[in-house]
């Protein structure tokens, strides 16, 4: 199962709750992630001190067809993603002291930044910035963390008179085709190719057919060459979260270069 629906659920709980009742329902649901198979909708209603109907409406708003659908997908999430995360973290550092663990994670960060620094294609970087500066508007596409790293770049684009806004990968399918045209540029930010969803690819292909220029900044940028007009590789291929060390550096570079002429 694609775990993206569960990630959307967590995003919904983090960002889109509108009142105390919804916070109480979300708190009750999340508190039972590990034992969801034995929990009923009535249990959640009692814990949240809310009606069963309110719990049902919340479940539908969060993107599930029913409470049973929610339970089923949480159970799969627990079996697959949770176990993968536990194994990934415990096996690597099983016999490490805290000091050794800190040293190795620090080295991971240094290695990733070094790879970015040594292998970054500066001519292509300038080509991308020139393209962005010539755009009527820029749309930054990425997940929430990637977009946060580029907030300052958005401000610098706006300071230079370039309309720039952000679209989350969760909203790409619905938003992008309606807001872009051939005078615009889509700047796609990606951390790890295996997290790239089919819906994001379909949305990019749709705007590409509309004549929108696509720039992709990714660790595995070569896998985007059939979609993007320009690709820029960074970091170390096939690493998961280490890309978050390099993205702030890239954002700073883009911000500085937006003020330069080539």
pLDDT tens by residue, the chain, 262 residues:
455 677 778 888 988 888 999 999 999 999 998 899 899 999 999 999 999 999 999 999 998 999 999 999 888 887 776 677 777 767 788 888 999 999 999 999 999 999 999 999 999 999 999 999 999 999 999 998 899 999 999 999 999 999 999 998 888 887 777 788 899 999 999 998 888 888 899 999 999 999 999 999 999 999 999 999 999 999 988 887 888 999 999 999 999 999 988 7
Would you list the DSSP string of the chain?
A: --THHHHHHHHHHHH---SHHHHHHHHHHHHTSTTGGG--HHHHHHHHTS-HHHHHHHHHHTT-SSHHHHHHHHHHHIIIIIHHHHHHHHHHTTT--HHHHHHHHHHHHHHHHHHHHHH--HHHHHHHHHHHHT-SEEEEEE-HHHHHHTHHHHHHHHHTT-EEEEEETTTHHHHHHHH--TT-EEEEEES-GGG--HHHHHHHHHHHHTT-EEEEEETTGGGGTTT-SEEEE-S-TT-SSTHHHHHHHHHHHHHHHTT---
> Both 221 and 145 in a single domain?
yes
CATH number, domain of 42, equals 1.10.10.10
> Both 29 and 138 in a single domain?
no
Residue 116 lies in a domain: no
Residue 96 lies in a domain: no
Please say which residue of 69, 90, 111 terminates a domain: 90
Domain coverage including residue 230: 121-257
Number of domains in the chain: 2
């Amino acid at each position: 199962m694609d775990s993206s629906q569960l990630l959307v659920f967590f995003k919904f709980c983090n960002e889109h709750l509108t009142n105390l009742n919804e916070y109480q329902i979300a708190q009750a649901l999340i508190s039972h992630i590990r034992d969801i198979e034995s929990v009923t909708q009535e249990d959640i209603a009692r814990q949240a001190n809310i009606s069963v109907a309110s719990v049902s409406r919340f479940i539908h708003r969060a993107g599930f067809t029913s409470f049973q659908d929610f339970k089923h997908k949480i159970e799969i999430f627990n079996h697959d993603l949770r176990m993968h995360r536990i194994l990934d973290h415990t096996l690597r550092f099983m016999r490490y002291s805290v000091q050794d663990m800190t040293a190795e994670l620090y080295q991971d960060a240094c290695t990733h930044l070094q790879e970015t620094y040594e292998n970054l294609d500066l001519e292509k970087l300038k080509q991308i910035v020139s393209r962005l500066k010539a755009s009527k508007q820029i749309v930054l596409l990425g997940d929430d963390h990637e977009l946060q790293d580029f907030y300052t770049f958005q401000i610098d684009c706006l300071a230079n008179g370039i309309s720039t806004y952000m679209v989350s990968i969760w909203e790409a399918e619905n938003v992008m085709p309606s807001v872009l045209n051939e005078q615009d540029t889509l700047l796609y930010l990606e951390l790890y190719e295996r997290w790239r969803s089919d819906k994001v690819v379909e949305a990019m292909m749709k705007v590409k057919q509309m004549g929108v220029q696509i720039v992709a900044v990714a660790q595995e940028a070569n896998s985007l060459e059939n979609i993007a007009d320009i690709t820029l590789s960074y970091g170390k291929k096939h690493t998961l979260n280490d890309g978050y060390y390099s993205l702030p550096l890239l954002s700073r570079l883009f911000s500085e270069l937006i003020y330069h002429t080539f």
